[in-house]
Structure 1
Amino acid sequence: MAQPKKHALIVRGGWSGHAPVEATALFIPFLEEHGYDVAVSDELEVYADTDVMARTDLILQCWTTGSLTPEQLLGLRTAVESGAGFAGWHGGIVDAFRATPEYLHITGGQFAAHPCDIHEYPIDLVPARTEHEIVRGLPETFTVEDEQYWVLSDPGNDVLATTTIPARDGDRWPGPVTVPAIWTRGWGSGRIFVCTPGHHLPTLERPEIRTVVERGLLWASR
Structure 2
Amino acid sequence: MRGGWAGHSPYECCGIFEKFLTLHDFDVEVADSLEVYADLPDVDLIVQSWTTGNLTEEQEEGLVTAVRNGAGFAGWHGGILAFGYENPRYQYLVGGRFVFHPGGFVPHRIDIAAEHPIVAGIGGYDVHTEQYYCHVDPTLEVLATTTFAGVGEAPETKGTVMPVVWTRRFGAGRVFVNTLGHSPDDLLLPPTRTITERGLLWAAGG
TM-score after normalising by structure 1: 0.89
Offset of 1:169 from its aligned partner? 7.3
Q: CA deviation at 1:171?
A: 3.4
Counterpart of 1:74, as a letter, is E
Alpha-carbon spacing, 1:75–1:117, altered in 2? closer, same or farther (3 Å):
same
Asked if structure 2 preserves the Cα contact closer than 8 Å seen for 1:146 and 1:200, the reply is no
Matched, 1:71 2:89: no
Aligned: 1:62 with 2:49: yes
Instruction: Identify if the C-alpha distance between structure 1 residues 170 and 87 changes in structure 2 by more than 3 Å, giving closer, same or farther.
Output: closer
In structure 1, the partner of 2:118 is: 134
- Identify the residue that residue 6 of structure 1 maps to in structure 2: none
1:62-211 pair list within 5 angstroms: 62-126=49-113, 129=114, 131-139=115-123, 141-168=124-151, 171-173=154-156, 175-211=158-194
DSSP-derived class of the 1:45 partner? helix
Residues in 2 aligned to 1:144 and 1:87: alpha-carbon distance in whole angstroms? 21
**Are 2:20 and 1:27 equivalent residues in the alignment?**
no
Q: Which secondary structure state, in structure 1, belongs to the residue aligned with residue 67 of structure 2? A: helix
Partners in 1 of 2:15 and 2:152 — Cα distance?
40
Partners of 2:128 and 2:14 in 1: CA distance:
19
Structure 2 distance, partners of 1:12, 1:171, is: 31
In the TM superposition, residue 62 of structure 1 has moved relative to its aligned partner by: 0.2
- Asked whether the 8 Å contact 1:63–1:92 carries over to 2, the reply is yes
Residue 164 and residue 207 in structure 1: after superposition, are their counterparts in 2 closer, same or farther (change >3 A)?
A: same
Letter in 2 for 1:30: F
Q: What percent of counterpart residues are identical? A: 48
Q: 1:37 aligns with which of 7, 22, 27?
A: 27
The letter for the 2-side match of 1:137 is G
Unpaired runs of at least 5, structure 2: none
Displaced runs of 4 or more, over 2 A: 168-172
Q: Which residue of 2 aligns with 1:8?
A: none
Q: Note the residue ranges of structure 1 that are not aligned, 5 or more in a row.
A: 1-10
Among 2, 5, 8, the alignment partner of 1:15 is: 5
Three-state SS of the structure 2 residue aligned to 1:26 is: helix
Conserved? CA contact 1:122–1:142, under 8 Å: yes
How far apart, in 1, do the equivalents of 2:35 and 2:197 lie? 26
> What is the letter of the counterpart of residue 62 of structure 1?
S
Distance in 2 of aligned mates of 1:198 and 1:171: 22
